[in-house]
Amino acid sequence: MNKFWQFKNQADGNAELLLYGDIADSSWWGDEVTPKQFAEDLANLGYVTDLTVRINSGGGDVFAAQAIGNQLEQHSATVTAKIDGLCASAATIIACHCDKVVAANDSTYMIHPVRMGIIGYKDATELQQYLNAMAAIRDSIVGLYAKKTGRSKDEVAALMDATSWWTGEQAKAEGFVDELVDDGESNVIENRNGLLFVNSVNMNLPFIEAPKFVQDSLVRKISSGFVNTQPVKPEKIKEDKTVDIKTVDELRAAYPDLVNQLEQAAAERATAEERQRIQDIEEMEMPGSEDIANEAKFTKPISASDYAKAAIKRAKAQGDQHMKDAQEDAKNSGMGGVNQEAVDQGVIMSVKETELKEKTETVQGKEQARQLVYCGPTVKGVTRQYTVYSNGIPEVMEEFFEKHPAARRLLVPVDVFAKTRANLEKSGTTEAAVFNQIKKEL
C-alpha cells in the first residue's frame, strides 16, 4: 500500500489533510485495505472542529476519490478544500464533497468525461459491462457536480463532456469554488521533460495538453526572471520549450527514456512476431519441402502466407511434371486406343482439377477448388489450426462443419490468410467472435 495522503494535527482543534499528486497509484476497486487505512488515519485525528484539505492534484482513481470524499463529508468537522495549485479530474470529486471550497487566485480547475483503462481482449458482452459501469460512474459524478454548483445535471454534464479548464476565478463563476484567496505566493508552473509540474508536484499530464493560460504562466515567470526554489537548468528550460520535434534524433534528445521504452517494446514485439512467423511456417511444412521451408524461415525470410503460396506453387509444378512423365510413359508403353485415352483423361483431370471444380455451384465445390487454410481452433482427431488444404476438404472436416457451421467461415483462401490471422488477434472482429464461439461449442 502506498499512502498518497498525509494528515497533520494542529492546535485549537484544527487539522490538515494534504493531497499532493495522484489520488492513489492503483485503483481502490476491490481494495479493502487502503480505504480502511485512510479511515483509521482520519479517526486517529481525534476530535477536530475544522479540517482543511489542501489539494494540488491532477486526479487519479475515481473510486478512491469517491471513498475519500464520502468519508470527509460524513465527518463531524467543518471540512474546507483549499486548492493550492491544480484541482483536476478525480481531485474535483473530493473538493465537491467538502463543506467549502477555497482556491488560490492563480489556481487551476479541470473536469472531463469519465475514462476507463482496459487491458487485454474483451468480447462484446464484457465491453457493454464496462460501458454500463462508466455510465453509472458518470451519473454519480454529474449528480455531485450539480449539487455543488446548483446547476442542472444537463449543464454540468455538458461541461464535463467538453473537458473544461478554468482559472480559479472562472471555477468560482461556474459554481465549483466558493471563495478566492491570495496567499501572496504564486503557483510554480514547470515543464519537466514534457510533463506538467505544479509547485514541484507531477500532475502526470503532458504539458502541451494543459490549457494556454497554464502554459503562458510558465512563459511569464521565465521572462520576468522568476527563480524556483529548485531552479531548472537553462538548457533544461530550452529543452522543455521544444515541442516541434521532426526527427527521431530530436525525439531521442528530448525524451531519451521514452524512446528507450518504445525501442524495447518494438524489439520485443518484433521477436514475438518472428517466432510466430517461423512457427506458422513449420505448421504448414509438408514432407519433401524441407529445403524451401528452411529457406523461407532463415536464408530468405518471407511471411507465412507467402510461404504457403510458394509451397502450393511448387507442389503444383511437381504434380504437373509427374503427370507429364506418366503420360510419356503411357505413350511409350505401347498402350493405345482406349487405354491411352484413359491415361490422357486422367492427366487432364489431374492438371485441370482446380479449374473444373471452380465451376461447381456449391460452396463445398468452391472450397475444394482453392488452396484453403483452416484458421479455427485445433480439434483433436480432426484438424489443427492453420492447416493448409490443397486437394479439397477431407470428409472428417465436412462432418465437423456440419456440426459447427460457423467454423466454415474460418476456412479461408491462402491470399487472405494473413488478414484473417491478424483479425483473430483483435478483439471485436467477426473472426475473433466466430473463433471464440467454436471454442465454447467444443
Entry pTM = 0.47
- Which of 187, 206, 231 terminates a domain? The answer is 187
Domain that holds residue 167: 5-187
> Is residue 9 assigned to a domain?
yes
Residues sharing a CB contact under 8 Å with residue 70, sequence separation 6 or more, in sequence order: 97
> Is residue 351 assigned to a domain?
no
Task: Round to whole Å and give the CA distance between 408 and 365.
Answer: 13
Q: Where are the beta strands (DSSP E) in 121-264?
A: 164-167, 179-181, 189-192, 195-198, 201-206
Q: Residue 156: what are its φ and ψ, rounded to 5°?
A: -70, -30
> Is residue 88 assigned to a domain?
yes
List the CATH number of the domain containing 35: 3.90.226.10
- Which of 187, 218, 240 terminates a domain? The answer is 187
**Please, are residues 304 and 281 in contact by the beta-carbon 8 Å criterion?**
yes
- Which of 146, 169, 187 terminates a domain? The answer is 187
Domain count, the chain: 2
> Is residue 53 assigned to a domain?
yes
Paired residues of 63 in beta bridges: none
> Is residue 258 assigned to a domain?
no
> Is residue 289 assigned to a domain?
no
> Is residue 227 assigned to a domain?
no
Residues sharing a CB contact under 8 Å with residue 135, sequence separation 6 or more, in sequence order: none
Q: Which segments of 301-369 does DSSP mark as H helices, in order? A: 304-332, 337-351, 353-358, 363-369
Q: Provide the residue-wise pLDDT of the chain in tens; the chain has 442 residues.
A: 567 889 988 778 899 999 988 887 565 555 556 778 888 889 988 889 999 999 999 888 888 899 899 999 999 999 999 998 899 999 999 999 999 999 998 899 999 999 887 777 888 888 888 888 889 999 999 999 999 999 999 999 999 999 999 999 999 999 999 999 986 566 777 888 778 888 777 776 788 777 777 877 765 554 444 434 343 333 333 334 444 565 767 667 777 777 677 777 777 777 788 888 888 887 777 666 778 888 888 888 888 777 777 777 777 677 667 667 766 766 666 544 444 444 444 444 444 444 434 443 444 444 444 578 888 999 888 888 888 887 778 888 899 999 998 899 899 888 888 888 888 888 888 888 899 998 888 8
- Cα angle vertex 397, ends 392, 401, to 5°? 115
SS3 95: helix
> Is residue 266 assigned to a domain?
no
Task: Round to whole Å and give the CA distance between 233 and 65.
Answer: 36
